[in-house]
Every structure is written in structure tokens, then in C-alpha cells.
Structure 1
């Protein structure tokens, strides 16, 4: 049988990817709006938002198993027609989200100050970050509930409702942010309050969606333990990411407030486009998981290469677009001439990496959908240890600034590219069955 005979129509992929794109883009787009709003307060508040935002992002990036792991498990069950069991995966993921979210809220309040000062050093940037973070942390349980909700809905190939829920919450907060920051005079704290409003609104809609499914809502410890097994590998993988990005934020903050602010602008654009590209990965998770659940290994392998081609093409288009926007776009985020002067040191790395990111993120989605989290864990840790972290530490030691930081990111992405291409070609990831433990 040829690969062509196993293809899923582009329309089917896009039917999942386009709404997922809206969900993935909504949060970083809100952060970009928030960055533009806070940027007009000056370099110190913007640098504080940069550091506080990186610290808060540890919540979602460390606990991706609540969305990606839930998608993988629910998709396999959905592939064999067991929808109620697929939704039940979402119930247990939501219980985990609430418990872990409350714990993280408490711990975060205790460590916010020491961690911010350890990363940026004592001073105005660390103080600004702490003032923002202490308020924004109250959104933590709701961030995690939203992640779990996205996970089970993607697993049953429903990406439209999550889009509506997330757009409602973030749209509400995007309207509030400029009012609270500038009109009400709350400054940086107003940004944090608007952030919490977004999380509460979206999470409430996901909780309601579970209730109307009419599945048992009680916690089932055995199923939660099974989810945590997959979660362990994804959490360790996320730790590698966060060691890298926290080190990068620290290197930028220790260079200057202007470098930290410039890094915030380019990093948020990177995060935004990463999640745009990740929309294909979401489609791959759902379709590959469903195919493997139905024991259709050949279809799963064909899907992997199909989304790889889509990812490369999409990334190349984004590279061209942001090369053209290199001069005017940064000016939307800050009028500060010193910050604008720092941005080009990171900008061209950001542009050139887009096609590579398109392939890497697409294949990450394939392998997560297949439950191949242990391989992704090992690959990410090795790429961080061999590529990203050494160059960031050298950048701090020798004063290489943003160019050194973004050289580290480039090395990290290239190493991951080589690894996921080799793994996908091997086919060892394509294990069939209703649920892969």
C-alpha cells in the first residue's frame, strides 16, 4: 500500500488544526497585547512582566501532560468508539488540575520573592516581577483546569468548543487590561488581575462542559495514577525546557533592563508562533492517537510525514513574513529606543528558526499522540544539556548578551530536529492499542 493511499485529507487535518490554532494562539496573543499595554509604562515594568511571565509559565509548561497526555489517552479510546471513557480521562485530569493548582498557588506565594531575586538580582526588575506574580498566581488552578479541558476535547476531536471558551476568557481580559493598567492607575498589578479574570472565565466553561457530558465526576485514583505515569515523562521534559528558558531570562536580565525587555518582546513572539505551529501537532496528536487506538499503524506513520510537510511549509511562510516585519513590528510593543536597539540581536535567530520549529513541533505532536513520551523526555534533556544551557551560561560569563542566548536556542532546536526525524523514520513509536500506559 502506498503512502498516498493512507493519507488523511488536508481538510480533515485543518478541521482540527485551525480551531486548535485559535486556542493555542489566544493565550500568547493575550500576552502580546499585555506586553504592548505594559510596555508603555517603561522598561522596568516591561522587564518585570518578562520575568514574572516566565515564572508563571512554568505552571503550564511543566504540566503539559494535563492537556497533551490527556489527548493521547482520550484519542486512543475515541478511536475504538469508547467516547464516555475518553471523556472520563478528562474528569480525572481535571481533579489532578485542581489539586495540583491549589498546591502550586500556595508554594508560589512563598517562593515568588526569592526566586525572582535569584534570577534577576535584587532591584527594581525583581520587585516588579514579584508584584505581578503574587496576583497572577491566583489563576493557577484555573490554568490547569483549562489545560485538562483542552486535552479531553482534543482527544474526542472537538477543537471548536475549546476555541470559544478560551477566546471568551482572553477577550474579556484583553479589554480589561488597558483599563486596569492605565485608566484605573493599577499599573503592572492591573495586568495580573486581568490575567486571572481570563483564567477563571475559561475554566468555568470547561467545568460546565464536563458536567453536561453526564459521565461520573468522582475521582478515580487508579486512573489518575495511570495519567501520572505518562505525566512523569512529560514533566521531566518540561523541566529541561524551563531550565533553558529561565536561564535565558536570567542572562537577559543580568545584561540590562533593556536587554531583558527586548528578550521579552522577541520571546513572546517566539512563544506565539511556536503555538501557532503547534496547531498541526494538536491535530497530529488526535489523529495519530485515534489511528493507533484502532490498530491502523500504517495510517499513523503516513500521518506523521504528512504533518511534517505541512509544518515545514507553514514555518517557511512565517519566516518570510517576520523577516519583512523586522522593523515595524517591534515598535508596536515599545517606544523605548534602547530596547529597540537590542531587539535585532535576537530577531534574526527567531526568523531563521521558524521552518525548523515547524518540523520539530509537528513531530513532537506525532510522538506525544503515540504516547512516546519517554523518547521525547530523553531527547529534550540531552538537547538542553548539550546545546542550549552551555551557550546560555557562556553568554552570561562572557557578556555575549542576547546573541549568545539565542544561539543556544538555535542549537537546542537543531539537535531536537535531528532526533525526532530519526525516531519518526524508525517507526518504533507506532505502538497500537486502546490505551498506552
Structure 2
């Protein structure tokens, strides 16, 4: 297909965003390798438990990036650069406040939260240690989310890529030093994460502070801006919670099916997650472009960009689906799956591949509506699509893990219907600042 100026703009935003998205899982694998090499299986299990808790908390706060991207991009498109930076400053203050609140709430609850996972005594003790230390880095983690949203709203996805690669490389280096050289145990891995995330947050604070001072924007929080960011964030939080409910329900059902079923489902989920990172990069471009063009009052550009990005999502999903089919015979060996798991995984990879084109369109339209500031609709759509998924998942539970994955396909189709109907209308095309 010929590359148009619109395509070049999409790629300029999407390619660095993709790099930043895949940096995190790649460097997390390095953390697991260091802990496993230096501390053994018990510590790896503890890292898995504590890491799941932290990842859940941070993922629930992803609205800090999405909401800030939309508000900053809209003000930028409207030419209100000082107000755009004002939105960014307020978003960062909100991130700091939530980060401090998470420390206050989960520090005393850490033993009880870890106990929910049913780990043995050795794993639980180390998981509590890791979780409590890592909680000190949550303000930095959330500031990174908000700061990333500010720069994406300013149409800059390259700087977040540089910061992400630098932070995660530093994280791996510090973990290696603290765990393998200084012999700090699992606490060393936690401190490496805290320091790397905090330094990454410091970079964003400097970048945003310089931009704010250049435009004469106060660095103090604004009550109105915090209220607006909180309202938008609450709606996006509902959307995110609905996503987590679906994924959690699927995992619980797969767990009850049996050990081989759970292992095959877990591997298929990892493959699907990696593919989602690639598709989400286009959605991030959608957030930035949509917010800016609507802020500028340009509905025609918004429509044209949405149409083009939807095509990119469909084509990208189709290519990824074909790649899954091509890699299907070798993927079980990559994960060293036993014969029972291999048989189930080979069957699961078919629906994983088939649903990729739908995923591509869904991710793009989700990003477009986030960029438009249509968070309230997305929250309600999340509730309705989750309600559509749960009965399908319960019905599928009696027919095996492949049927369970097809229930996820029902969920994606429900999301496609709700998002496509909204995008086809005009209610979300609100222009101006």
C-alpha cells in the first residue's frame, strides 16, 4: 500500500510507542533471570507474587497516561499551549497523590495481600519484603505514566521511548549489582526497581517543569485541574477494571479446568499480550492525533485519521494473525511445553490468530475515543461488554480451554460492536478546547 503523509504521521508516533511498550516486558524477563540465577526458585516465586500485585496496581492507574494524553493533545490542537501544560502538571500531581495513597494503604496490608496467593512460608516472607520496598517506588511509577501522557499529548513518543529503555536498562543493571554482587537478596531486586523508576520519574519532572516554566505555567497543583483529571480518570478506571475482570475470570476458569489447560492458556495469554503491545502502539497514535485534531476543530482530519488508523489496525492484526499461524508449530517448543500442554496450545493458537484482525480494529477505536475524551461512554461500554462475556465464559467452561478462548472472542466482538457504533456517530466529535 502507498505510504501517505497521514501514514507517516501515524508511524512517527506509533513506532517509538511500540518500542516503549515492549521495553518493559523484555527487561522484566531480565529481572526474573537475575533473581533466579542468584537466589533460586523460592525467590522467583516470591517475585512472581509481589510483581503480580504491583503490576495490577499500576495497570489500574494507566488512566493517568491515557487521560493526560487526551487533555494535553486537545489543548495543544486548540493552540492553548499553556493550558496544555497546566493539564500535564495537574496530571503529575494526581499521580503523586495516588502513589502516596497506595503506599499508605498497601504497606500495612502487604502480608494479607500476599497470603491471598497461597504461597508457602518462604515465598510469602520474601514476597512481603519485595512488595513493601517496591511500594516506595509507586509514586515514581505513576509519575512516569502521567509524564508519558504529557509527552504523547504533545505529539512526542520518542522521549518516552528513550526514558523507558534507559530506566529498564538501569533497573537490570542495579538488580544485577545489588543481588549478585552485594548479596542483598530479593530486597536488592526491589531497591533496584525503586531507584530506576524514581530516576525515570525525575526525568519527566524536569522535562515537564522546563516546559511549564517556559510557558509561564505554575508548578503548583490547581484544584479545578485535579478535579477534571480525577473525573476523567474515574471513568477510565472503570473501563480498566472491566478489562481486568474479564482476564481474571478467564484465568480462574482455566485454573479449574486442570494443570495442562492452565499452562496452555497461560502461554497463549503471553502470546496474545505480546501481540497486544504491537497493536496498542497504533492506539496510542490514535489518542494523540484525535485529541489534537479535535482541539483544533478539524472534524474532517479526525474522521480521515480514524479511518486510516482503523485500516492500519486491521492490516496489522491480519499480519500478526498470519505470523501466529506460521509460528504455531514451533511455539510449544519455545516454552518447553510437555505433550499434553502442546496439544492444547496448538489448538488454542488458532483462535488467538483468528481474532487478531478484530483486536487491531478494537484497539485503534478504543484509542481514538480515549483521545476524544469520550471516557464516560467507554466506561459504560466496558460494563456492558463484560456482562456479555461472563455468561459466554461460564458456558464455555464446560467445553474446554479452546471454547474458553472463543468466549474471549465473543468479548472482543462485543467491544468491536460498541466501539464501531460510537465511532460511526457524531456524539464523540466534540471540537475545541
Tell whether the structures are fold-level matches, with TM greater than 0.5: yes
Q: 2:375 aligns with which of 358, 373, 376?
A: 373
Task: Summarize the alignment of residues 422-437 of structure 1 with structure 2, pairs less than 5 Å apart.
Answer: 422-434=421-433
Q: Please give the alpha-carbon distance, in whole angstroms, between the structure 2 residues aligned to 1:78 and 1:110.
A: 42
Q: 2:279 aligns with which of 264, 277, 280?
A: 277
Unpaired stretches in structure 2, ≥5 consecutive residues:
none
Please say if residues 79 and 296 of structure 2, whose CA atoms lie closer than 8 Å, have aligned partners that are also in contact. no
Q: Please give the alpha-carbon distance, in whole angstroms, between the structure 2 residues aligned to 1:189 and 1:406.
A: 38
1:384-433 superposed Cα distances (whole Å, 9 cap, x missing partner):
1221x34555677x594x54653342222121012111211123211112
Task: Summarize the alignment of residues 144-223 of structure 1 with structure 2, pairs less than 5 Å apart.
Answer: 144-177=142-175, 191-213=189-211, 214=213, 215-223=217-225
Could you say what the CA RMSD is over the residues aligned between the two structures, in angstroms?
3.4
1:154-173 superposed Cα distances (whole Å, 9 cap, x missing partner):
11111111111111001222
Q: 2:87 aligns with which of 86, 89, 94?
A: 89
Matched, 1:17 2:19: no
CA 1:134/1:345 → structure 2, altered by over 3 Å: closer, same or farther? farther
1:72-104 superposed Cα distances (whole Å, 9 cap, x missing partner):
111111012222221221111111111101111
Tell me the equivalent position of 1:133: 131
Q: Please give the alpha-carbon distance, in whole angstroms, between the structure 2 residues aligned to 1:285 and 1:256.
A: 40
Tell me the equivalent position of 2:241: 239
Tell me whether 180-189 or 271-280 shows the greater mean CA deviation. Answer: 180-189
Please say if residues 332 and 346 of structure 2, whose CA atoms lie closer than 8 Å, have aligned partners that are also in contact. no
Q: What is the CA distance between 1:143 and its match in structure 2?
A: 1.2
CA 1:377/1:165 → structure 2, altered by over 3 Å: closer, same or farther? same
Q: What is the CA distance between 1:207 and its match in structure 2?
A: 1.1
Tell me the equivalent position of 1:99: 97
Tell me the equivalent position of 2:65: 67
Q: Please give the alpha-carbon distance, in whole angstroms, between the structure 2 residues aligned to 1:277 and 1:13.
A: 12
Report how many residues are paired.
Answer: 424
Please say if residues 63 and 236 of structure 2, whose CA atoms lie closer than 8 Å, have aligned partners that are also in contact. yes
Unpaired stretches in structure 1, ≥5 consecutive residues:
1-6
Q: What is the CA distance between 1:38 and its match in structure 2?
A: 6.3
1:102-125 superposed Cα distances (whole Å, 9 cap, x missing partner):
11123223334434444x446479
Task: Summarize the alignment of residues 46-57 of structure 1 with structure 2, pairs less than 5 Å apart.
Answer: 49-57=47-55
Q: Please give the alpha-carbon distance, in whole angstroms, between the structure 2 residues aligned to 1:124 and 1:67.
A: 37
For 2:137, what is the secondary structure of its paired residue?
helix
Please say if residues 396 and 404 of structure 2, whose CA atoms lie closer than 8 Å, have aligned partners that are also in contact. yes
